[in-house]
Amino acid sequence: MRIIVPMKQVPETNAVRMDETTGTMIREGVEAIINPLDLYAIELAIRLREARGGEVVAVSMGPPKTISALKEAIAMGCDSAALISDRSFAGADTWATSYVISAAIRRIGDYQLIICGERATDGDTGQVGPGIAAWLDLPVASYIGKLESIDEKSCRVHRLVEDGYEILDVALPAVLTVVKEVADPRLPTLRGKQKAKKTDVPTWGPRELDVKPEYLGLEGSPTRVVKIFKPKVARQCQKFTATDEAGVKQAVEGLVKFLAGKDLI
């Protein structure tokens, strides 16, 4: 079974600072890591490979330094990786990104399962996984918290929904986007790191991939980021203070009235 894991390198969120004037993220000097949710996808893929054989291929679109994220994926246990990188891909929105990644997946070929993290911590859209499924015309199951069973033709997964789980049987090949519960990621080992160092990761651009130039990068993207701003915190705090016995009673009554007014009690 061949499993493909599309992943993204993102800025380490603890270290992110915003430029107050432009409202954009300051990326300079910020460490780049594998998108935390993608680690769960990688872990699930490796466990399936360990249980059933086959191979796990990691792919990522980004600038050349993204190679370090792919090497980390190999160090964790992925068998191989490919970097999708070219100036013409820069500035792609989720539509154009999923288009190019789906082309890379077609190039790898012969896959049964594509596992993505549910979303990336920087863009926060959650659209690329389902987008890939759309371009490849595959079934997609998002918010997967558990993969119960799998065989050649289908898998049974638990999909996290607001009031519980949906249990779905999904025909393969398919795209799954996974959430945190699916599997705790392992740490890379020394042997893994050494293997990653030796593994050659190819870089694919428009020449290696069967893509239409008009679908690429910022130019090919139907959506635009017009403005980024910090949302205003609309927290409405009301204090009920009391200094004496009578005051306490009044404060309690006030609080009850307030909560009742909000339909909270």
Partner 1 sequence: MAKKKTEKAAATKYKPLTPAIIAEMEKIVGRQYVIHSDAEKLEPFSHDEISEKEYAHMPDCVVRPAAAQEIAEIMKLANREMIAVTPRGAGSGLSGGAVPVFGGIVLLCDRMNKVIEFDKANMTITVEPGLVTNEINEIVRPAGLFYAGYPMSLETCYVGGNVAENAGGGKAVKYGVTARYVLGLEVVTPKGDIVQLGGKLVKDVTGYDLIHLMVGSEGTLGIFTKIILKLMPLPKASVDLLVLFRTPDEAIAAVPEIMTKSGIIPTAIEFMDRLSAHAACKYLNETLDYKDAGAMLLITVDGPDEQQVMQQYEAIGEQCLAAKAIEVYVADNHTTSERVWKVRRNIAEAFKVQSPRQSLEDIVVPIASIPKMVAGLEELSRKHDCQIPCYGHAGDGNLHATPVMNPKWSDQQWHDRLEQILVDMYKLTASLGGTISGEHGIGHKRKKYMPLVCQAAFIDMMRAIKLALDPNCVLNPGKIFDC
Binding site for partner 1 (CB under 8 A): 12, 14-15, 31, 33-34, 36, 72, 75, 184, 186-194, 197
Smaller CB separation from partner 1, 32 or 251 = 32
In sequence order, the 6+-apart residues with CB closer than 8 A to the CB of 203 are 64, 67, 82, 83, 84, 85
Smaller CB separation from partner 1, 28 or 244 = 28
Cα Rg of the chain, angstroms: 23
Q: How many CB atoms lie within 10 A of CB 122?
A: 15
For the bound state, the minimum distance from the C-beta of residue 184 to partner 1, rounded and expressed in Å, comes to 4
| The token pair that represents 40 in the structure block | 């769960």
For the bound state, the minimum distance from the C-beta of residue 31 to partner 1, rounded and expressed in Å, comes to 5
| The token pair that represents 204 in the structure block | 């694919």
Smaller CB separation from partner 1, 37 or 150 = 37
Smaller CB separation from partner 1, 14 or 149 = 14
Cα(141)–Cα(133) distance, integer angstroms: 9
For the bound state, the minimum distance from the C-beta of residue 41 to partner 1, rounded and expressed in Å, comes to 15
Helix/strand/coil for 104 = helix
Smaller CB separation from partner 1, 1 or 42 = 42
For the bound state, the minimum distance from the C-beta of residue 50 to partner 1, rounded and expressed in Å, comes to 13
For the bound state, the minimum distance from the C-beta of residue 145 to partner 1, rounded and expressed in Å, comes to 16
Smaller CB separation from partner 1, 29 or 222 = 29
Quick one: which H or E segment has residue 263?
A: none
CA-closest candidate to residue 250, choices 265, 260, 240, 258: 240
Q: Please work out, in degrees rounded to the nearest 5, the angle formed at the alpha carbon of residue 132 by the alpha carbons of 127 and 135.
A: 120
Sole residue written with tokens 């980024």: 228
For the bound state, the minimum distance from the C-beta of residue 36 to partner 1, rounded and expressed in Å, comes to 7
Helix/strand/coil for 222 = coil
